[in-house]
Each structure stands twice: as C-alpha cells, then as structure tokens.
Amino acid sequence: MELILVQALSGLASAASLFLVASGLSIIFGVTRIVNFAHGAFYMLGAYMAFTLTDRFSGALGFWGGLLVASLIVAALGALMEMVLLRRIYQAPELFQLLATFGVTLMVQDLVVLIWGADDLMGPRAPGFTGAFSLFGRLVPTYDLLLIVLGPAVLGGLWLLFHRTRWGVLVRAATQDRDMVACLGVNQKWLFTSVFALGVFLAALGGALQIPRTTVTHYMDLSIIVEVFVVVVIGGLGSVTGAFIAAVLVSELNALGILVLPKISLIAVFLVMAVVLVVRPYGLLGKAERGARSSTGISFRPWKPMSMLERAGVAVLIAIAALLPLFAGNYLLSVGAEILVFVLFAASLHFMMTVGGLASFGHAAYFGLGAYGAAFAVKFLGAPMELALLVGPAFGLMGALVAGWFCVRLSGVYFAMLTLAFAQIIWSVAFQWVEVTGGDNGILGIWPSAWASSPRGFFWLTLGVAVVGVALLRMLVFSPYGFGLRATRDNTLRADAIGIDRKSTQWAALIVAGTFAGVAGALFAFLKGSVFPESLAIPISVDGLVMVLLGGIETVSGAVIGAIVYKALAIWLMSQTDWSKLVLGAIIVLLVVAAPKGIVGFIDDWRHRGPRPKNGKPDALAVAKMEAAE
C-alpha cells in the first residue's frame, strides 16, 4: 500500500509537466486550429536550452532563472515559426499544417544532435529541492512535491489569464468564432502569434522542469508527443481544464499500471482514450468544432478517368519499371521493391483520405497486421508464401472491421486520434505478447518461395501486386460506391437525404483501405524476412500521411508519386548524409509552402493554367468560375 501511494505521488508529479505541454497544445489548437506536431520538439528544445543555461550559471538564481529564460527563448522561436511558416498556410487544410510541423520536427531532431551531440545529458539538481522526505518508510523527492503544487497553480493562472484579462476574452472569443472576432476589428495575426508563443512557452517550461528528474535526450520529443495528443483528446481539444484532468488520469495510469496491471500497462492509456471517445466523442470537456473547413479531397476540377493517351503513358512507365531488373543490381531492386510496397500502402491511405475524407493517424495498424498475419501463416501453419499473402490481408481486413465500427462514429481530429488509439493498442499487444509475437525480438525467417527468392523475382512480384492494387483502388473511385463515398465526404446531410448511410459507407472504405494496407504489410514481411512491432508503430503511419500529402490529396493517384518521391528521397539522403532528417524536413516545409496541393496537384494546376491576363487584370470568366467553386 505504501508503494502504491508513493507511485501515485510520482504520477502526480509527472502530470504537472504533461499538463504544461498538453495545455499549450490545447490552447494553440483552440484558437488556430493547428494540430502542432512540432509541439514535442519545443518541449525537447526547452529541456536542452535549460540544460545549457543551468550548466553555465550556478546557484538558485542561475537554475530557476535558467529555466524561465530557456522557456522564453523557445517561445520566441515558436513565435518566429508561426510568423514565417504557419501564417502562409492558415487557409490550407489542417493536414497540410500537420505536414509542415512534422517537417519542422525532423529538422529540430537533427539540429539538436548537431548542437548538443547525440549523448544523453544529465541536468543539475534543483536548488532547495535536492532532498527527500520519508512517507510510510519510503522516500519521496521534495522536487516531486514542487511539481505537484505547480500543476494546479498553472491551471489557476491560466484561468485568471483567460477570464480576467482583455487578451484572454479575445482568445476565448476566437476559440468560439474566429470570423466574428475578425469582423470586430481584432488583429488576428498578432492574436494567433501571441497564443502560439504562450503554448510553446508552456511546452518548453514542461521540458525544462524535467531536467532534474530525467536525462535530456534527442528522442524525447516523440516520447512526449503521443502522450500529449492522448491527453488533449481525452480532455477535449481547446479545454485547459480538460487537459489538466486528463494529464492526471494518464500519469496515474502510467505510474500505477506497472504495479497493478503490468501486462496491459502499455495499452491502458489508449484503452481509456478509446472508451472516452466512443462515449464522449469530443472528450471529457470538449465541444463540437465550429466552422469546419472543406473536407479533405475536394477539388475545384471534377475527377475523371484516364484518357486513352494517359493510360498508354502509364503502361509505358510500368513496362519500363518491369525491365529494370534486367539492368539494375540487387541493392537497387531491393530498394525498388520497398518503394513499391509503400506505394500500395500510401494508395490505401489515400483512398480513405481523398475519396472518403477520413484522415487516419493509425494506418500502420493494418500494415503491421498484414505483416504479422503472413508471418503467423509461415511460422505456425507452415504455409507457403502464396497462401501467406492471402492470410496477411485477411488480418488487415479483420483489424479494419473491428476498429472501423467504432471509428466511423467520429469525424475530423477525433476520428484520427481514435485510429491512433487502436493502432497503439495493437502495437502494445505485439510488443508485450512475447510468447506469440516474439516481442521486440520479432519473428524471423519469413522468406519468399523459390521463384520469388531472388531480388529480381521479388521485384516483379511486388510490381505486379502494386499495379493491380492501385488499379483496383482507382476503379473503386469511379464506381457507384466511390461516388457515394464522395457524397458522404462532401455533404453528409445531402447524402443522408438521398439514402446514403454515412457510417456504413465510410466503414466499408476503412475496410477496403485496411485490406490493401494488409497486402502491403505481407509483402514487406517477405521483403525483410522478418516482422517486428515497429511495423505497427507511429512512424509508419506518419510516413504514410507524408507520402499522401506530398503527392496531393486533391488528385486520384497522388499517393503513387508521393510515395516514390518521399521513400526514394529518404533512402538516398540516409546514404549520402548524416543529417538526412534536417534536409528532408526542410524539403517538406518548402514543398508545403510552394505547393500546398502536393506535387501532382501543383503539376495539374500548372497544366490547366490559362493564358496570362493582359495588363495584369484577371479574366472575368475565370474569376466567376473560381467564386462559384468557392
């Protein structure tokens, strides 16, 4: 009992830093509607800046002043990012803003290693709070007590700021109706900048306060961002009080879960998030979003099937790819097969996002299930590759069938976060069920049949499966079902009025996407010869999102180009430079700013661009068409 009490106090101390970071993200989303993936990077920068300043200046003033100054410096960097980058893309779909902040995260990860090195750093003890006191015979650090008090104090300060100041009233008004605030003459640019700076300051302070408790590492951004997303979704996006309640709940589950339920300690938090979202779709204290933007995938130019000339061009490209094994070496063929696997994976996610308007943060679940399904068929059933390639997609289908039944009841960010919860639950099971999955040791010896065992043979197999898979997805886009799915995406009320059931239609789309992702995962298992829990992890889902967004969500097959460009670029950069994340992140940010519709969308706009207007005046007919489209 004494150990449980001490663990509970440790959980409350952890909740303070988690609340600081989560409240900052919640405030930013509430006003700007940006899901800031770089929030974890600012948390990490706060810790590194605080380490540098406290290491240089000694004494109590140097330590506590160093934490504050470090947080202010990072807040200034956040404000600079908002002014230079985010202001340019506020009108873009939310997922493009997510992509831009993901690019910033990649850049910060390499910049931190470049400046501070790759070794873990240990910060100094907090002056005045270096000791511990005895509680029922067990020692509790006095610094933990400071953090326990700090959490409610920050919550009270934020409440006063938002309810007793003019700036706070404007922020709350912008959270409710940004357009009306603009009509009243409020300068939204500086309001957004100040809100973003406050949110980043809280994240940096949360990181700075961690240096006496834990080591400072260059991967602490990804370790915190998932928990932060969970907290803000459970509490309700935009609700600071909800973030505080959820931070305490999540921290206590993490602290006590190891003692009470060690077998499910990794999935307990995500199970709670899934239950909360199913029972209360907008979180504990959240509210339905107002003034939602256009659905993902809506294009001003209606989609149409390929012309005969375009089909001939695609056939020529496929024929050239099929001839590649006659000239390329084994390494290039292995890289090509991996790119083709992710082409199919990205195309499956693209079908959900573009045609169905369903943005998933957990699409890796079905990819990983396909990989494990194929591995189980080989290891436990002794099945050949041909049969295993059918079992893998069946696993992906079943996973999408179960998860989709719950997920389609939500929309927007909440749908995306529930898909993330299911993906993390499946990852946790694969990681902890060592007797079946091998845990982090994985399942080894998943080799293809003899006819496909050479790099040449497996490349042809992967090319054939990818071409057929992408072709089937394109056929679905222009089928009666595809038109019905687009109707539910564009206008749910009108779709209901003509008899199209949104939930069942979108559920079917998720099942289709999960099945094709399972095919890609099964191929990946045979390509690598092994399966590990990393196949189910968040980075795979993020890679899929980046591929889709780079290609263009307003196109039918943009994911194909996006996957080829992103995967080829990532592999090439890793072989050419130690700072591949820095370069790749910079390229992603530049593409988002220069081509917010993606590579294919940019090319399509360029192709359909009309003649230049004379005397710099726009054509009246073009203006009328654009206004009608808007």
Helix, coil or strand: residue 472: helix
Of the CA atoms within 13 Å of residue 550, those in its CB half-sphere come to 27
What is the C-alpha to C-alpha distance for residues 97 and 82, in angstroms, rounded to an integer? 11
Q: Would the pLDDT of 302 be above 50?
A: yes
pLDDT for position 491: 82
- Whether the CB-CB separation of 525 and 446 falls below 8 Å is answered with yes
Single out the residue of 46, 15, 34, 31 nearest to residue 200, CA to CA: 46
> Span 462-490, mean pLDDT?
91
Instruction: Using the structure block, give the residue that is written with the tokens 């003890």.
Output: 125
pLDDT for position 258: 67
pLDDT for position 624: 44
What is the C-alpha to C-alpha distance for residues 36 and 589, in angstroms, rounded to an integer? 14
Find all residues with CB under 8 Å of 313, minimum gap 6, and list them.
none
**Residue 542: alpha-carbon gap to chain centroid:** 5
**Residue 324: alpha-carbon gap to chain centroid:** 34
Q: Would the pLDDT of 72 be above 90?
A: yes
Of the CA atoms within 13 Å of residue 323, those in its CB half-sphere come to 6
More confident residue, 564 or 588: 564
The terminus-to-terminus CA distance of the chain in angstroms comes to: 63
Instruction: Kindly report the pTM of this predicted structure.
Output: 0.83
pLDDT for position 625: 44
DSSP string, 513-542: HHHHHHHHHHHHHHHHTEE-GGGGSHHHHH
pLDDT for position 618: 46
Q: Would the pLDDT of 354 be above 60?
A: yes
Q: Would the pLDDT of 16 be above 60?
A: yes
pLDDT for position 623: 43
Single out the residue of 318, 625, 312 nearest to residue 470, CA to CA: 318
Q: Which of 71-75, 166-170, 527-531 has the lowest mean pLDDT?
A: 166-170
Q: Would the pLDDT of 600 be above 70?
A: yes
pLDDT for position 46: 93
pLDDT for position 291: 46
> Span 368-390, mean pLDDT?
93
pLDDT for position 622: 46
What is the C-alpha to C-alpha distance for residues 524 and 348, in angstroms, rounded to an integer? 15
Q: Which of 253-267, 425-439, 494-508 has the lowest mean pLDDT?
A: 253-267
pLDDT for position 184: 73
> Which pLDDT band holds residue 123 (cuts at 50, 70, 90)?
confident
Pairing of β 443-444 and β 530-531: antiparallel
> Which pLDDT band holds residue 2 (cuts at 50, 70, 90)?
low
What is the C-alpha to C-alpha distance for residues 236 and 283, in angstroms, rounded to an integer? 4
> Span 429-435, mean pLDDT?
86
pLDDT for position 290: 53
> Span 353-376, mean pLDDT?
91
pLDDT for position 86: 85
pLDDT for position 198: 93
Q: Would the pLDDT of 261 be above 70?
A: no
> Which pLDDT band holds residue 463 (cuts at 50, 70, 90)?
very high
pLDDT for position 612: 52
Helix, coil or strand: residue 216: strand
**What angle separates helix 598-607 from helix 580-594, to the nearest 10 degrees?**
40
More confident residue, 429 or 608: 429
More confident residue, 511 or 600: 511
Q: Would the pLDDT of 611 be above 60?
A: no
> Span 559-572, mean pLDDT?
89
Tallying the residues shown for the chain, one arrives at 630
What is the C-alpha to C-alpha distance for residues 99 and 595, in angstroms, rounded to an integer? 12
What is the C-alpha to C-alpha distance for residues 46 and 78, in angstroms, rounded to an integer? 11
Q: Which of 9-23, 47-61, 179-193, 411-425 has the lowest mean pLDDT?
A: 179-193
pLDDT for position 259: 67
> Span 96-125, mean pLDDT?
86
pLDDT for position 294: 44
What is the C-alpha to C-alpha distance for residues 478 and 439, in angstroms, rounded to an integer? 42
Mean pLDDT of the chain: 84
CA dihedral sign, ordered 79, 80, 81, 86: positive
Query: Which DSSP state fits 295?
Result: P
- Whether the CB-CB separation of 317 and 309 falls below 8 Å is answered with no
Taking residue 383's Cβ as centre, other Cβ atoms within 10 Å add up to 16
> Span 347-365, mean pLDDT?
89
Pairing of β 138-141 and β 530-531: unpaired
> Which pLDDT band holds residue 137 (cuts at 50, 70, 90)?
low
